[in-house]
Amino acid sequence: MRPFTWLTPETTEEAVALLRAHGEGARVIAGGQTLLLAMKERLVGPSHLVSLARITDLAGITTEPDGALVVGAATTYAALTRAELPGWQRRLSEVAGDLADRPVRNRGTIGGALCAADPRFDMPAFAVGVDAELRISGAAGERALPAHEFLVDAGRTALGQDEILTAVVLPPLPTWDVVVFEKFRHRVFDAAIASAVCALRREDHGVPASLRITVAGATPTPTVVLVDAAADGAAAAESAVAAVRLDSSDEATRYRRELVHTLVRRVVDRAHAQQGSV
């Protein structure tokens, strides 16, 4: 690992100013679970690490008056797992509690996973799947982006050099009636090869009004597929496979295509089966 200077700002504004002052050599560090590995392998060699550890505003969960759930970017998986969340929003706790292992969950953060933009990670899939909004602070001020616009490519986000992700905002409870997440991994501590999210909203009389399917892992960024709200798992799986364009006939691609098909069929059938329960 190359030498670096460790900086410990106490506010987001201070952190942004440090990123700006040290330019391209400066990197934010949250839990370090991805960044430190990349530094050890010399894939990156920042001159300055701007730690989020002392910025208390960036960790924790609050609910806005409309029911939107604001999750600070530096909230760890362990804290998410312990949170008691209402309705479908509790899927966030379940997803956080079922990834990696305890040491990674104790340090890794939701914001770090989104900013790493690794297609195998669960939080990018979940955030796009429920149509979360990401709040960003930078030298030019604050802005917000839907998660699918934040994730630009594998390993690349819409963040500018002097910007920090401050919060992940899950929409209010009435946005969805049911949210189902499924992933496939070889071993329990492996990251996913493919994952799928189904978010379903019904009209008042129980008729599906909106079915949003998100496929991740098999594509560089999570892909949203909107299908006929009444589609069953098999029909939705066909639409999803066509949308993610896994066209090549090589074995690895055929394997991924099969995984996507199976995961989408499962999440959609499970969502329909839940019939109003969350």
Ligand X SMILES: Cc1cc2nc3c(=O)[nH]c(=O)nc-3n(C[C@H](O)[C@H](O)[C@H](O)COP(=O)(O)OP(=O)(O)OC[C@H]3O[C@@H](n4cnc5c(N)ncnc54)[C@H](O)[C@@H]3O)c2cc1C
Q: Binding residue for ligand X (CB under 6 A) from 18, 59, 69, 100? A: 100
Query: Please, which residue, 98 or 131, has the CB nearer to ligand X?
Result: 98
CB of 139 to ligand X, least distance (A): 13
Q: In what helix (H) or strand (E) does residue 177 lie, and over which residues does it extend? A: none
Q: Would you say 143 and 136 are in contact if contact means Cβ atoms under 8 Å apart?
A: yes
119 binds ligand X (CB under 6 A): no
9, 12, 34, 39: residue in contact with ligand X (rule CB under 6 A): 34
> Should residue 115 be labelled a site residue for ligand X when binding is judged by CB under 6 A?
yes
Residue pair 225/198 in contact (Cβ under 8 Å)? The answer is: no
Cβ of 207: how many Cβ atoms within 10 Å? Answer: 9
Cβ 114 to ligand X shortest distance, Å: 8
Query: Position of tokens 């295509």?
Result: 257
Residue of 9, 87, 111, 129 that binds ligand X (CB under 6 A): 111
Q: Which is nearer to ligand X, 154 or 230 (CB)?
A: 154
The residue from 4, 32, 258, 270 that contacts ligand X (CB under 6 A) is 32
Candidates 78, 134, 147, 164; binder of ligand X (CB under 6 A) is 164
Give me the residue label for tokens 């910007």.
163
Residue that is written with structure tokens 């590995």 in the block: 37
Nearer to ligand X, 114 or 180 (CB): 114
Residue 148: phi, psi to the nearest 5? -70, -20
d(CA 168, CA 183): 21
Instruction: Give yes or no for residue 121 binding ligand X (CB under 6 A).
Output: yes
Nearer to ligand X, 115 or 194 (CB): 115
Tokens of 79: 């804290």
Considering only residues 202-241, where is the footprint of ligand X by CB under 6 A? none
CB of 61 vs ligand X, minimal distance in Å: 15
Using CB under 6 A as the criterion, what x/- string covers residues 51-70 for binding ligand X?
-x------------------
One symbol per residue from 244 to 273: x for binding ligand X (CB under 6 A), - otherwise; what is it? ------------------------------
* CA terminus-to-terminus distance, the chain: 46
CB 120 within 8 A of CB 174: no
E strands along 101-163, which residues? 133-138, 141-146, 151-153, 156-157
Furthest C-alpha separation in the chain = 62
Count of residues of this chain found to bind ligand X when the rule CB under 6 A is applied: 30
Extract the runs of DSSP E, i.e. beta strands, from the chain: 5-7, 26-29, 48-51, 61-63, 69-72, 133-138, 141-146, 151-153, 156-157, 164-170, 178-184, 194-202, 208-216, 223-227
Nearer to ligand X, 15 or 227 (CB): 15
- Among 68, 191, 209, 229, the residue binding ligand X under the rule CB under 6 A is 191
Among 119-127, 172-180, 204-212, 222-230, the segment contacting ligand X (CB under 6 A): 119-127
Q: What is the spatial distance between Cα 103 and Cα 107, in angstroms, rounded to a whole number?
A: 7
User: Which residues here bind ligand X, judged by CB under 6 A?
Assistant: 27-35, 52, 73, 99-100, 104, 107-109, 111-113, 115-116, 121-123, 159, 164-165, 189, 191
